[in-house]
């Protein structure tokens, strides 16, 4: 997406009575020319960065595919990953968790120009909740810079619609009062009124980027603690080795001293 050409900047009017007014005007015009050149360089830099991002997005695709194929072999991988992410876990109730047990794949696809949006693809095996095997939520940037969404219509099976009221009213066509009830994962999915919401960004930038971190429930503090424990263990091993060397040296010294004493005793006997 081409960058909009910067509109000419308006030069401030100077007080005609100011001293050296002509010199100030010349300096301001020179500064403005430099800034115009900087803006042009920034635009070129953005274009170059975009090309690099597009290149590496293509290079990542086969690795994402291989990772997804392996993840599909692990039961409840995505359920556990979502439950271990604090922001996503806040959306999950027991019913959401039951549905997510049937989720087999997660994919995030950015638009070719990257800047204009992305879509999140959720894939499911046959389940008792809905007919769909694939649900897609797409985020699209408008020309005005606003993010809008569109999503797959979920074909809920009779009596299984999670976005309708729970309990006795479930499946009877009475929609959830979303203002009074806590949000859920599938109410987020079906809500097209939300713009560039935080949940989509979290899935794209956190979970899709490194799902293993959340599946294993790792955080930076735990990783640092693990590094510290490894360092302590290495220090202990090194300390034990040093102690062993010192003991050997002490034994050697004691042996030498005993030899000297024995030698002096032998000399005394000979005399």
Query: Residues with Cβ < 8 Å from 6, sequence gap 6 or more?
Result: 36, 39
Mean pLDDT of 90-98: 95
Distance between CA atoms of 25 and 5, rounded to whole angstroms?
Answer: 25
The stretch 229-239 carries a mean pLDDT of 65
Q: Can you tell me the mean pLDDT for 163-188?
A: 59
What is the residue-averaged pLDDT of the chain? Answer: 80
Burial class (CB in 10 A: 0-12, 13-18, 19+), 75: exposed
The pLDDT of residue 30 is 93
pLDDT of residue 146: 82
Residue 223 C-alpha from the chain's centroid: 16
Residue that the structure tokens 């006795």 belong to:
168
d(CA 80, CA 214): 8
Q: Is residue 126 over pLDDT 50?
A: yes
182 CB neighbour count, 10 Å cutoff: 10
Q: Does residue 237 register a pLDDT over 70? A: no
pLDDT digits (tens, 9 = 90+) for 182-224: 678 999 999 877 555 789 999 999 999 999 999 999 765 555 5
Token pair in block for residue 17: 């009575």
The average pLDDT across 166-181 equals: 45
């Amino acid at each position: 997406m081409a960058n909009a050409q910067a509109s000419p900047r308006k030069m401030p009017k100077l007080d005609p009575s100011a001293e050296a007014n002509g010199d100030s005007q010349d300096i301001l015009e020179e500064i403005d020319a430099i800034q115009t050149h900087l803006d042009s360089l920034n635009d070129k830099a953005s274009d170059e960065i975009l090309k690099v991002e597009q290149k590496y997005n293509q290079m990542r695709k086969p690795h994402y595919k291989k990772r997804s194929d392996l993840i599909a072999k692990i039961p409840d991988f995505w359920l556990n990953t979502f439950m271990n992410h604090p922001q996503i876990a806040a959306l999950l109730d027991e019913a959401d968790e039951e549905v997510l047990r049937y989720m087999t794949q997660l994919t995030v696809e950015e638009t070719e120009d990257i800047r204009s949006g992305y879509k999140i693809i959720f894939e499911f095996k046959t389940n008792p909740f809905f007919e769909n095997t694939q649900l897609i939520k797409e985020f699209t940037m408008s020309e005005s810079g606003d993010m809008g969404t569109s999503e797959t219509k979920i074909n809920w099976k009779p009596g299984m619609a999670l976005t309708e009221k729970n309990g006795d009213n479930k499946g009877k066509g009475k929609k959830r009062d979303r203002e009074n009830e806590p949000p859920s994962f599938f109410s987020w999915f079906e809500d097209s009124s939300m713009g560039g919401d935080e949940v989509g960004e979290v899935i794209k930038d956190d979970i899709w980027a490194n799902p293993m971190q959340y599946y294993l429930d790792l955080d930076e503090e735990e990783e640092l603690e693990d590094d510290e424990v490894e360092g302590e263990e290495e220090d202990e091993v090194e300390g034990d080795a040093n102690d062993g060397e010192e003991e050997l040296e002490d034994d050697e010294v004691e042996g030498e001293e005993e030899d000297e004493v024995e030698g002096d005793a032998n000399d005394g006997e000979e005399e």
